[in-house]
Structure 1
């Protein structure tokens, strides 16, 4: 039976190996006079520094590989954005024409306006490396208001936000995936008593996004959607070791917490 070692265990073993290698080096230097009299000591020292050099070279190689991977992923993302921009001006002009034809103060007119704003943000701001937290907040507000107009049923949607620095920079379109899932798998399928509670806070260079919703137990699925997979990949690329993403399912309550250390 083949023994399987988890990725976290592998990382711990690698760190332990590097630490022991450095400690061994210090011991050899400090007790040079004692060990220097032993037979084969010079050969051992040479072997030690060869191993140390290989370890350092391998670490540098991994860092370079990670940078190249990040660059390639960024280029792929930009290409996907370009492919999705099928003459966006056509859509905006069409939406503006529809907006002009509709009655003033109608729900349909509000939907068209918010949809236009969301599309513009997604296409033009979404391709940027960083956006302000305020712009991302406005985007989420538009989405929530648009969904509330769409659904003709009573629900409890609360969006609480407390931001100390609205100009703080963040990667665009991170929270929308979690928000879309809450509406899609929760409010959309529930006949009554549906709720979505969202909290967005920022302080001391850290952002936390918490979203909780209820759902139909029959809709439970163990499969992870493409949106969540892409979110995790983007977080690992842009916020390595600077984020945490947790999911909690308790009966028919689904809760997600995303925390980010801002750069």
Structure 2
């Protein structure tokens, strides 16, 4: 949280600095320029006006920067009575401050004579030293800046907290998915090992390759779509080794390029679900058809699988988790359709690619 606050402070200090420079320097020069152009019928501003605006703009900037710190501290915290007391004190000291700066400017020998005379007149002028109308203008402008930054900072903090919450939830969902995936795959290896099947070693090799992908890629926010498809292809090959010719398995990937990115392990649960909950109990008539198609703007996944007889339920923790991940990662940017007619289970997923 300290790091976030430091980031916010740096960002908003730049905004504050730009505001004060514009307000107390640029606008003063523009006002004089406009007055000279329209009223005096001359372009540009004199050396005296430049000198005057720089000196009194700097003195006003320093005073109102202090006032701005008061606004930030008490207005935002809704301590109004303390704020009003500080404003009254500021008005008193601001009058003294303006007289003191005018006296100082009147006695600085390196300033122009016209500037020193003007400062002396302001020092000797029998008044509080400022216009209440102008002071109120400054008050409202600076108060608006303080309130704007306060609201924007709160919105940024809420946004970051939401992002952190989403990251934590995604991490949790991935943590659930990975043990679930390995549990299913190890079951496959265990079944082949009991049969002393010659395909056990190739299956272990494929699993090792998939484990390497999960260990090094699963924690990344986005991975190469090409790598993700290769991982899925390895998974399908593992299932091919397991079922061999008993089940009709088809896998086709089209339009996969090297530049597209996708959240890791996002497509796997749909494919894993087709094998785990669709044809696991089939012996000779089951099928799984997988088509992944990438266009310029969309990625489409189509999975069709037969449903084993007497299979009462399809879907599992992986499918539940991936639906949650889709809601988090692709809000209003995905379309998921699932159909089940008790004989064929169909999944159609369309993603707007990031």
Shorter-chain TM-score range: 0.5 to 0.7
CA shift, 1:76, in A, is 4.4
TM-score in terms of structure 2 length: 0.47
Higher RCO, 1 or 2 (CA under 8 Å, sep at least 6)?
1
Matching residue of 2:327: 236
When you count strand as a share of all residues, which structure comes out higher?
1
- Which residue pairs with 2:305 in the alignment? 213
The alpha-carbon distance between structure 1 residues 148 and 241, as it changes in their structure 2 partners (threshold 3 A), is same
- Compute the displacement of 1:153 (Å): 5.2
Give the structure 1 partner of residue 276 of structure 2: 184
CA contact (8 A) 1:156 1:196 kept: yes
Q: CA deviation at 1:206?
A: 0.8
Cα distance change, pair 67–217 in 1 and its aligned pair in 2 (3 A): farther
Alpha-carbon deviation of 1:128?
Answer: 0.5
Which residue matches 1:248? Answer: 339
Task: Tell me by how many angstroms 1:167 deviates.
Answer: 2.4
The alignment's C-alpha RMSD in Å is 3.1
Aligned residues: 186
Structure 2 counterpart of 1:193: 285
Equivalent in the alignment of 2:23: none
Gaps of 5+ in 2: 1-152, 180-197
* Whole-angstrom distance in 1 between the partners of 2:177 and 2:285: 37
Larger Rg: 2
CA shift digits 1:16-57 (9 cap, x unpaired): xxxxxxxxxxxxxxxxxxxxxxxxxxxxxxxxxxxxxxxxxx
- What is the alpha-carbon distance in structure 1 between the residues aligned to residue 250 and residue 285 of structure 2? 13
Alignment CA distance shift 1:118-1:68 (3 Å): same
Distance 1:84 1:236, change over 3 A: closer
Answer yes or no: is 1:133 the counterpart of 2:225: yes
Moved over 3 A (4+): 60-67, 76-86
* 1:66 shift after superposition: 6.3
The normalised TM-score by structure 1 is: 0.62
Name whichever structure is richer in helix by fraction: 2
Q: Distance in 1 between matches of 2:167 and 2:227?
A: 21
